Chain A
Amino acid sequence: MDLAQQQNPLVSMEPDQLERTPPVDLDLTENIYRSPRERFIAFLLGACAIISILTTLAIAAILVYETARFFTDVSLTEFFTETRWTPQFLEKHFGIWPLVTGTLLITIIAAVVAIPLGLASAIYISEYAPSRLRTWLKPGLELLAGVPTVVYGYFALTFVTPILQGIVPGLNIYNALSAGIVVGIMIIPMVASLSEDALRAVPRSMAEGAYALGATKIEVTLRILVPGALSGIIASFILAISRAVGETMIVTLAAGSTPVLTLDPRASVQTMTAYIVQISMGDVAQGTVVYQSIFAVAMLLFLMTLAMNLAATALIRRFQERY
């Protein structure tokens, strides 16, 4: 009995509480670790963990189902070879290319802005910045990452576009350039923080070895640290580009809604995400081909971002194994 009380597993109780607890008649043959209560808790927690799997399955099922119905009305050949996207006209054409080039154009402009600036910031923060400045710069970049995308959309349309119109002749009010630049600004923090993590993961001894051989700081940075962290840095580029492809509000507000096949950054374009939002804002009846078309576009978007995310994950894993 005395022994049973000492093995009382109520570890979370305060000492005075323990004293007040009446002596319990513990049955030591009972396995408390596999009691129905413990099993129920494990089951409940496991059920919650399944929800994330169900989410993926639900997304996949909905996209596949509606996309399949879309392709009973529109042939795959038309989808991938037609160059006009006019679902809301009387004469409907469903060629995906205008939306794809619109998305690509924005993404390329964003990458041109974000990759050099993000990588340079990562190098500065991890190698050059004095530690006191770093404690200010990192939260500053996090703030930039925390700005809601609709705010960036406002910024692109009401601030960046008017300035660019003074510089670039023939710039449309809604244009790919302004939206692309602001999407680029939005993903800078992502490139910077992931690249910085990669740079910091390179063993310090490698840098010290290079210093010992007489290399200068910039030589150590560019020839030892950056190549050493390369797979992590490239993974950060891919993840950021995937974010740019999936970005919605900035392009909806600032890039316009005209799906045309062009690579002219001054023109108004429509991205895949902006099309999805445009159609869902109007009241489109369920079961029509226009309603189903947003699922087909979403399917393509999902596959593109999924491929990029998987590639980045694989790169990061390889890079973690190396050190």
Chain B
Amino acid sequence: MQTTETSFQSPDFSERLQSRHRLGLILGTIFFLATLFSIIVLVTLIVDILVSGLPWLDWDFLTSYPSRRPQAAGIKSAIVGSLWMMVLTALIAVPVGIASAVYLEEYAPRNRFFHLVQVNIANLAGVPSVIYGILGLAFFVRYLSLGRSLLAGALTMGLLILPVIIISTQEALRSVPQGIRESAYALGATRSQVIWSHLLPIAAPGILTGVILSLSRAIGETAPLIMIGALSFVAFLPGSVLDEFTVLPIQIFDWTARPQADFRSLAAGAIIVLMIILMIMNLTAILLRNYFEKYRPR
């Protein structure tokens, strides 16, 4: 204490403000450049893909089946497969995910079992997707004998995105003011009425955002579907949920892995289509969030 005071008051003391500010400026610039790096990478990636993919992108490409000749190859079966996959996954994961979250937030007593479930869900969200693929392969494809079907793929994908839907729905429910629950109960509503008529509508923007973001993860996911044996050469459209299928990411993977330059450009074309679908989904999420936020009771 003594020494600090003397040095502070001594005539030799200098706060070196100039050099301290210079250091701050240098490091601040480095932080800025580091942030800029990610943005530059994103832009580079998009430009690279557009340059190689755009020349291949035409109506024939969207409406043809895969082919051994790059000029004739298209992504019809992949687009249809991806849409099937998205709808089926949503049908499986969304009701179960929302129901789980409602149970955990509104019903479950805060005991040890509750905490176990919470830790379990957080960890499931961090399990590598290839492990879900193993689960799908051993359980849905082999044990339940669903084969390499759309249903096996959608069940695997549903389990994969379930934790994400549960976590985002829980957050949305938690942000509903407690007063709304209390006033509804005070008017004599039962628990299910409170949930159905008040909590879910008010939490809808948060829930929808989480659902759409998790589905956009499902539509870009490749590894689990390779594991359960989705094919890369499908020259037909699936007619039922028990048919074999392919999806856009698998088609991209297959074409990228081939050494011929033409097939890699085809992959870029398919990536453009995939990224457009993802962009539409993300935009929908943002628009829905803004729309609901406007009419949200506070």
Contact = CB atoms under 8 A, between A and B. Distances in A.
A and B associate: yes
Q: Which 6 A-B pairs have the closest CB atoms?
A: A246-B128, A148-B220, A120-B34, A218-B24, A12-B197, A48-B99
B39 A281 contact: no
Interface string B179-213: 00000100111111100110000000000000001
Contact of A11 (B122, B127, B188): B188
Contacts of A294: 134
Which of B131, B217, B227 has most A Cβ within 10 Å?
A: B131
Given A11-B188, A49-B117, A153-B256, A42 B222 contact: no
A58 B135 contact: yes
Given A52-B166, A120-B30, A38 B226 contact: no
B1 interface: no
Contacts of B137: 280
Interface stretch (A75-83, A164-172, A201-209, A300-308): A300-308
A185 interface: yes
Given A45-B102, A48-B100, A154-B252, A148 B278 contact: yes
Interface residues of A, number: 90
B32 A249 contact: no
Interface residues of B, number: 93
Which of A49, A53, A120 has most B Cβ within 10 Å?
A: A49
Contacts of A189: 38
Interface in A119-176: 120-121, 123-125, 128-129, 137, 140-141, 143-144, 146-151, 153-155, 157-159
A290 interface: no
Given A41-B192, A280-B133, 19 more contacts: A49-B108, A51-B96, A52-B120, A59-B134, A144-B38, A149-B223, A151-B275, A154-B252, A154-B256, A219-B24, A248-B129, A248-B130, A277-B223, A277-B226, A280-B226, A295-B138, A301-B131, A306-B127, A313-B119
A42 B28 contact: no
A320 interface: no
Which of A9, A154, A222, A247 has most B Cβ within 10 Å?
A: A154
Interface string B87-131: 000000001110110111001100000001101111110111111
Which of B24, B38, B123, B253 has most A Cβ within 10 Å?
A: B38
A216 B21 contact: yes
B35 A121 contact: yes
B131 A302 contact: yes
Name B's interface SS: helix
Given A38-B191, A153-B253, A59 B127 contact: yes
A62 B135 contact: yes
Contacts of B38: 117, 121, 140-141, 144, 185, 188-189, 192
Contacts of A116: 34
Contacts of A313: 119, 122-123
Nearest to A185: B41
B94 to A, nearest CB: 11
A199 to B, nearest CB: 12
B154 interface: no
Contacts of B135: 55, 58-59, 62
A24 interface: no
B248 to A, nearest CB: 9
B249 interface: yes
A45 B44 CA distance: 46
A63 interface: yes
B103 to A, nearest CB: 4
B141 to A, nearest CB: 10
Which of B35, B100, B189 has most A Cβ within 10 Å?
A: B35
B45 A147 contact: yes
Nearest to B264: A158
A246 B119 CA distance: 19
Interface string A25-38: 00000001101011
B34 A219 contact: no
Nearest to A117: B34
B15 interface: yes
Contact of A51 (B42, B162, B252): B162
Interface in B266-286: 267-268, 271, 274-275, 278, 282
